[in-house]
Chains A and B, each alone.
Chain A
């Protein structure tokens, strides 16, 4: 069966520090991968998605970037965090190709102080 791992679960970082959040999927090949952000009390906003290694599409301009160095690994990064980067970050995967059901990781709560 497929599983998705996301870490760390919680992170507190000072303004201006770098960020690296990691997401890996097991039990499937060539998944579509997604990074979402959820602000407090709000819905999810898609940040990045990837349909293959090295292929990243950005949905909103921001201080963050994403990379996919391996088929089932998706990384969310920042060189210098801003206060506005605080939030709950969720990684998700779906079957590669034109698919529809997304499965989510447990999320990372990021607090930038």
Chain B
């Protein structure tokens, strides 16, 4: 079955760019029919949807993060990535990647999540 795994630095300095990659295994990111999404969770808080990308490269971002977010896809590596610029301590969170089934509007599977701390 399809599995997702986040990877990237666990510590980022303020004002720098947070970069994470989600590797998809057990299925092709190019197969269509899915949005590849990023979601985050601040420590002890709720979930926040960040945005998604389709394999073709089309994206949709959370309006509150849109000015700082870029999601890209590398179909050759079966990966998609998140970049969040100008980070502050408020961006400290567990970042999840997840697959969204377009036609059925559901999210599964999810990656295990990776904690990114913004600190100098």
Partners in one complex: no
Residues of A within 8 A of B (CB): none
Residues of B within 8 A of A (CB): none
